[in-house]
């Protein structure tokens, strides 16, 4: 006969023991599991924070002149340094210089060297030539192969020559039938380095222009309609019959605009191109100052040489010699990222220039730029230039 009392007692004892054991085992196990989850979460969060901290955005603003090339660099540099983003606002040289002086960007870009007044507002600024381009007189006429001289261009933009079949234009274009239509002049409405290059050239070749108007990023235009940026001027010319204006060569090439050949110092009519701009650079590069010296009087317009295109120019990046002068570059990693990007742009980045209408920097200009970069400091200490 089975003793149920003993069986029940044994069962109760067994349950008591196992319950007690499970409590002692479960608590440490649960605690260890929670700790492991917390540690794993902290590790993941730390990795994410490090990854986030390594992401750098370099903000620049300025000239529309080099924008197609800088935008190409923005894309290509992502394949070199995926953790560095380039954010460039194409607002015109005047706006770029203003933001550089106000230290709201990490770098500025301008086609016009800083004026003495601007240098006073941005002491210790340095010029770094980033590329070379040219400005061309683009037109909208039902003719090909138009030729123009500097003095004729000055008279058109002064409002003294108003018809396309003016004898002065017709004389140097005997094979063209020019329309008896009013010339519509298009110019920049914003502060512009392209305007500086154009007016620097007109001041160089026309005494009347030099005395009445002069050169600058912004001027009082005697005639014409204004449009913002190279993009705006190009669009206005393309949509306005009988118009003429000035745009950077890259914009003329990418939009298929007609642009006139311009008579150079040697008396030859030269079309704006990579080769003719390069010829102008070769004649001008040997006389360049150091990057931390004033560039106010640097010009490549009306350069000597039988094949030189007469309206060529550098485009510059602007940074401070002591990078912490810009509060946005207080972080050393960001400052080094800026130096690395500029060094890449003036070396490996030059390979992308010819396909979009720019001339690669000559080797002596690259060396000049790298000397400037080696002179930059962060809290007094030089940064690495590889």
* DSSP-assigned letter for residue 92: -
Cα distances (Å, whole numbers) of residue 8 to 20, 22, 133: 18, 21, 100
Nearest to 213 by CA among 204, 223, 205, 203: 203
What is the pLDDT of the chain when averaged over all its residues? 88
Report residues of the chain scoring pLDDT below 70.
1-53, 285-286
| Amino acid 283: pLDDT | 73
What pLDDT does 3 receive? 44
| Block residue for tokens 């440490």 | 28
Q: For residues 162 and 376, is the Cβ–Cβ distance under 8 A?
A: no
Tokens of 3: 């003793």
> What pLDDT is recorded for position 77?
98
236-250 as b/e: b if 16+ CB within 10 A = bbeeeeebbbbbbbb
Produce one character per residue of 342-354: b if its CB has 16 or more CB atoms within 10 Å, e if not.
bbbbbeebbebbe
The Cα angle at residue 217 between residues 220 and 275, in degrees rounded to 5 = 120
| Predicted pLDDT of residue 286 | 65
Which residue has 């210790």 as its token pair?
124
Sign of the CA dihedral with 305 first, then 234, 200, and 59 last: negative
For residues 88 and 341, the answer to whether their CB atoms sit within 8 Å is no
DSSP characters over 1-70 = ---HHHHHHHHHHHHHHHHHHHHHHHHHHHHHHHHHHHHHHHHHHHHHHHHHHH-EEEEEEE-STTHHHH
Is residue 159 classed as helix, strand or coil in its secondary structure?
coil
Q: Cα(107)–Cα(124) distance, rounded to whole angstroms?
A: 13
Side-chain half-sphere exposure of 75, counting CA atoms within 13 A: 6
Query: What are 317's two structure tokens?
Result: 């990046």
């Amino acid at each position: 006969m089975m003793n149920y009392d003993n069986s029940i007692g044994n069962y109760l004892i067994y349950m008591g023991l196992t319950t007690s054991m499970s409590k002692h085992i479960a608590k440490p196990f649960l605690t260890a599991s929670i700790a492991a989850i917390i540690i794993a979460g902290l590790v993941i969060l730390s990795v994410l924070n490090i990854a986030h901290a390594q992401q750098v955005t370099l903000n620049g603003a300025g000239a529309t002149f080099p924008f197609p090339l800088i935008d190409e660099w923005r894309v290509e540099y992502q394949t070199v340094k995926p953790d560095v983003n380039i954010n460039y606002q194409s607002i015109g040289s005047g706006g770029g210089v203003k933001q550089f002086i106000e230290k709201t960007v990490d770098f500025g870009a301008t086609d016009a060297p800083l004026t003495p007044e601007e240098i006073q507002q941005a002491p210790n600024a340095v010029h770094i030539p980033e590329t070379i381009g040219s400005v061309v007189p683009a037109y909208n006429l039902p003719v090909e192969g138009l030729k123009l001289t500097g003095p004729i261009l000055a008279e058109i933009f002064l409002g003294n020559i108003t018809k396309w079949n003016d004898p002065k234009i017709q004389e140097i274009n005997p094979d063209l039938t020019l329309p008896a239509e009013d010339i519509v002049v298009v110019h920049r409405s914003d502060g512009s380095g392209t305007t500086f290059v154009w007016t620097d050239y007109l001041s160089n070749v026309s005494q009347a222009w030099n005395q009445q108007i002069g050169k600058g990023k912004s001027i009082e235009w005697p005639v014409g309609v204004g449009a913002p940026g190279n993009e705006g001027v190009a669009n206005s010319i393309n949509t306005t019959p009988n118009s003429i204006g000035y745009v950077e060569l890259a914009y003329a090439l990418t939009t298929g605009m007609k642009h006139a050949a311009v008579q150079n110092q040697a008396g030859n009519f030269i079309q704006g191109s990579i080769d003719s701009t390069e010829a102008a650079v070769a004649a001008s590069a040997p006389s360049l100052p150091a990057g931390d010296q004033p560039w106010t009087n640097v010009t490549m317009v009306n350069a000597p040489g039988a094949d030189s295109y007469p309206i060529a120019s550098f485009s510059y990046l602007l940074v401070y010699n002591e990078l912490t002068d810009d509060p946005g570059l207080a972080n050393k990693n960001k400052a080094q990222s800026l130096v690395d990007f500029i060094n890449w742009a003036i070396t490996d980045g030059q390979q992308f220039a010819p396909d979009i209408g720019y001339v690669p920097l000559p080797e002596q200009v690259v060396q000049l730029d790298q000397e400037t970069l080696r002179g930059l400091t962060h809290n007094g200490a030089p940064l690495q230039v590889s």
